[in-house]
Amino acid sequence: MGSPISGTMAKIFIQHLEDSFIKHLLDSKNVTFYSRYIDDILIIYDSSYTNPIAVMQYANTIHNNLQINLTPENAGQINFLDLTVTRKTTNLEIDMFRKPTTTNTTINYLSNHTLEHKLAAYRYYVKRMFSLPLNKEQQLEEWTTILDIARSNSSPITS
């Protein structure tokens, strides 16, 4: 096992790199939006002004031990964490994304765990569904998925 402070040191290091190098891209307006969660980075840029290969090459020169891999959008869509971001003419839309290998396994309702622990995943799913700007059709689809997950984990669902 590593040091207990290794995670904190990694955060400090990445924050320093972002402040020193990524801020430059945002200030120069080459990049419209930048977001990072752990090691997943989403960059939104205007393709008429910015070459994605150039951004990737620039990012790969920042530090010898960092390697950035480009995953371009496909048919106007890209998956980032648990979302699908879709580029429209005037805006961006989001939808839920689950990897094809998702098992939809939660704590089984019949297991010897507290009810609070059994319901934690469902609270998260429902809170996420209502906190994201999803349309009614997307919310209904997500609600159906949540019910299916609950049924597959022996939850006593009545509707």
Roughly how many angstroms between the first and final C-alpha of the chain, as a whole number? 46
Dump pLDDT digits (tens) for 34-45: 888 887 888 887
Cα-based distances in Å from 9 to 2, 61, 65: 12, 21, 15
Domain residue ranges in the chain:
6-72, 99-152
Q: How many residues does the chain have?
A: 159
pLDDT at 70: 84
pLDDT at 158: 62
Mean pLDDT value across residues 90-106: 91
Residue type for 109, please?
A: Y
Q: Is the pLDDT of residue 21 over 90?
A: no
Q: Where residue 137 falls among pLDDT bands split at 50, 70, 90?
A: very high
Q: Is the pLDDT of residue 47 over 80?
A: no
Task: Give the chain's mean pLDDT.
Answer: 87
pLDDT at 1: 61
Dump pLDDT digits (tens) for 110-130: 999 999 999 999 999 999 999
Q: Is the pLDDT of residue 87 over 80?
A: yes
- Packing angle of the helix pair 115-131, 136-152 (nearest 10 deg): 160
Question: Taking the mean position of all CA atoms in its chain, how far away is CA 144?
Answer: 21
Residues 118 and 109: beta-carbon distance below 8 Å? yes
pLDDT at 146: 94
Residues 94 and 80: beta-carbon distance below 8 Å? no
Q: Is the pLDDT of residue 46 over 80?
A: no
Task: State the pTM of this model.
Answer: 0.74
Residues 49 and 42: beta-carbon distance below 8 Å? no
Partnered with residue 74 across adjacent β-strands are 77
DSSP element (H, E) containing 42: strand 40-44
Structure tokens that stand for 44 in this block: 């939104």
Q: Are strands 92-96 and 33-37 parallel, antiparallel or unpaired?
A: unpaired
Q: Where residue 51 falls among pLDDT bands split at 50, 70, 90?
A: confident
